Amino acid sequence: MKIEIKPKYGFVILAFAFIALYSLFQARAILLGPQISIVSPKDGEVVGSPLVTVEGWGRNIGWISMNDRQIFTDEEGHWSEKLIVSEGTSIITVVARDRFGRETRKNLHIVLN
């Protein structure tokens, strides 16, 4: 039994497949949820000054905070915040939420001598 597909139906099938793949590509931000990355300082880094600049980026976020205080990003999702840490080990928590309420959390440990 041989199945033949007429050219006009083949085009419709190909167009439908293209639309489905393009839709999945555009929906990747919704499917992946919020993403955050802390660029500087690195986790476990030893710093010599109590004033630390924490830098990172976020994607697919609607709201972001550091230690329960809202921070703001630029148009590309990059952020930079200055923070005073106490002697010993300090834990910095960055939380990002998307518009659907999904949440991502990153913890950063910094040691001040």
73, part of any domain: yes
10, part of any domain: no
**Looking at residue 1, what is its pLDDT?**
67
Percentage of the chain lying above the pLDDT 90 cut: 66
User: How many domains does the structure of the chain reveal?
Assistant: 1
Q: Which residues contact 111 (CB under 8 A, 6 or more apart)?
A: 44, 45, 46, 47, 88, 89, 90
**Looking at residue 5, what is its pLDDT?**
67
Ranges of residues in the chain with a pLDDT under 70 are 1, 5
Q: Which amino acid is at 113?
A: N
14, part of any domain: no
CATH number (domain holding residue 74): 2.60.40.10
63, part of any domain: yes
Question: What does the pLDDT look like over 30-44, one tens digit per residue?
Answer: 778 899 999 999 999
pTM over 0.85? The answer is: no
Domain assignment of residue 83, given as a range: 34-112
